[in-house]
Chains A and B, each alone.
Chain A
Amino acid sequence: MMTTATLDRTVGRQAGAPARGVVGRVIDRVGGGLVQTLLILIALFWLVPTLGLLVVSLRGETYNNASGWWTVFTEPAQLTLENYSNLLATGFTASFWNTVFITVPATVLVIGIAAMAAYAFAWIDFRGRDALFLVVVGLLVVPIQIALIPIAKLYGALNIFGSIASVVLFHVAFGLPFAIFLLRNFFAGIPRELLEAARMDGAGEWKIFLTVVFPLAKPAVASLGIFQFLWVWNDLLVALVFANTDNQPMTKALQSQMRQFGTNVDILAPGAFLSLIIPLVLFFAFQRYFVQGMLAGSVK
Chain B
Amino acid sequence: MTDRLDGPQEPTGDATVAGGPSPEPHHRDHTATGARTTRTARDAGAEDENRDAPPAGGGRKGSDAPPERDARTGSDTPPAPGGRTGSDTPSERDARTGSDTPPAPGGRTGSDAPSPRVATGGPAAPTAASARTARLGPSPRLAILFLLPALILLGAMVVYPIIYSIFRSLYDAPGDTFVGLSNYGTIFSDPSTLTTIRNNLIWVVVAPILVTTLGLIFAVLTERIKWATAFKLIVFMPMAVSLMASGVIFRLVYDQDPDKGVANAVITTVRDVFGSSTGYPGARPRENDQSPLVQNGAVVTRQAVQAGQPVALPLVGIRPDALPDDAAPAKAPAQSGGGLAGTVWLDFAPGGGGQAGQVDPNERGLPGVTVEALQNGAVKGTTTTAADGSFSFTGLPAGEYTLRLPPSNFTAPFNGLSWLGPTLITPAIIGAFVWVWAGFAMVLIAAGLASIPRDALEAARIDGATEWQVFRRITVPLLSPVLLVVFVTMIINTLKVFDLVFVIAPGSVQQEANVIALEMWRVSFGGGNNQGLGSALAIFLLVLVLPFMILNIRRFRREQQ
What is the interface of chain A, defined by CB distance below 8 A to chain B? 4, 7-8, 11, 15, 17-18, 20, 28, 32, 35-36, 38-39, 42-43, 45-50, 52-53, 56, 64, 67-70, 113-114, 116-117, 119-127, 129-130, 132, 134, 136-143, 145-154, 169-170, 172-174, 176-177, 180-182, 184-186, 188-194, 196-197, 199-201, 205, 209, 215-217, 219-220, 223, 230, 233-237, 240-241, 251, 254-255, 258-259, 261, 265, 268-269, 271-273, 275-276, 279-280, 282-284, 287-288, 290-292, 294-300
Contacts and interface: CB of A to CB of B under 8 A. Distances in A.
Contact of A35 (B132, B225, B235, B251): B225
Contact of A169 (B13, B157, B250, B506): B157
Contacts of B495: 143
Question: In terms of DSSP, what is the predominant structure of the interface of chain B?
Answer: helix
Contacts, number: 406
A236 B244 CA distance: 7
Contact of B531 (A70, A136, A149, A217): A149
B304 interface: no
B70 A291 contact: no
B243 to A, nearest CB: 7
A173 B157 contact: yes
A189 B1 CA distance: 10
Contacts of A201: 111
A42 B438 CA distance: 11
A287 B237 CA distance: 10
Contacts of B545: 141-143
Question: In terms of DSSP, what is the predominant structure of the interface of chain A?
Answer: helix
Nearest to B153: A173
Contacts of A4: 462-464
Nearest to A192: B77
B293 interface: no
A124 B108 contact: no
A46 B521 contact: no
A199 B492 CA distance: 43
Nearest to A230: B240
Contacts of B295: none
A35 B17 contact: no
A184 B19 contact: yes
Given A56-B252, A117-B146, 20 more contacts: A53-B252, A124-B137, A132-B147, A150-B165, A186-B18, A196-B132, A197-B115, A199-B137, A199-B138, A219-B16, A220-B18, A230-B240, A234-B242, A234-B244, A235-B242, A240-B525, A291-B12, A292-B15, A295-B443, A295-B447
A220 B498 CA distance: 29
B157 A147 contact: yes
Interface stretch (B282-290, B338-346, B380-388, B536-544): B536-544
A147 B158 contact: yes
B496 interface: yes
Contact of B71 (A35, A143, A189): A189
A291 B465 CA distance: 33
9 contacts: A4-B464, A39-B225, A142-B162, A145-B541, A176-B150, A190-B70, A194-B104, A236-B502, A288-B56
Contact of A143 (B70, B74, B146, B541): B541
B387 to A, nearest CB: 23
Interface in B192-242: 218, 221-222, 224-225, 230-231, 233-242
Nearest to A15: B464
Interface string B497-516: 01100110011000000000
B489 A298 contact: yes
B158 A295 contact: no
B410 interface: no
Contact of B158 (A148, A177, A287): A177
B530 to A, nearest CB: 10
Contacts of B333: none
Contact of A148 (B93, B150, B261, B521): B521
A102 to B, nearest CB: 13
A205 B138 contact: yes
B5 interface: yes
B250 A148 contact: no
A298 B435 contact: no
Nearest to B560: A130
A299 B556 contact: yes
Given A67-B260, A200-B111, A251-B244, A42 B235 contact: yes
A11 B56 CA distance: 45
Nearest to B559: A185
Across the A-B interface, give the 3 residue pairs with the lowest CB-CB distance, nearest first. Answer: A185-B19, A189-B71, A234-B242
Given A116-B150, A139-B154, A145-B537, A182 B259 contact: no
A137 B552 contact: yes
Nearest to A201: B111
A219 to B, nearest CB: 6
A219 B150 CA distance: 21
A170 B525 CA distance: 17
Nearest to B223: A35
A165 to B, nearest CB: 13
Nearest to B488: A299
Given A53-B249, A145-B537, A126 B140 contact: yes
A30 B230 CA distance: 22
Nearest to A299: B552
A116 B144 CA distance: 10
A70 B112 CA distance: 66
A273 B156 CA distance: 36
A142 B244 contact: no
Contact of B552 (A32, A43, A45, A138): A138
B444 A294 contact: yes
A170 B79 CA distance: 33
B457 interface: no
Contacts of B137: 124-125, 199
Nearest to B117: A193
User: Which of B150, B156, B237, B550 has its CB near the most chain A CB atoms (within 10 A)?
Assistant: B150
Contacts of A182: 18-20
B112 A197 contact: yes
Contacts of A146: 161-162, 165, 538-539, 541-542
Contacts of A113: 149-150, 153
Given A43-B234, A147-B161, A261-B506, A141 B556 contact: no
A191 B74 CA distance: 6
A298 B489 CA distance: 7
A95 to B, nearest CB: 12
B33 to A, nearest CB: 19
A181 B20 contact: yes
Given A150-B165, A182-B20, A261-B506, A241 B67 contact: no
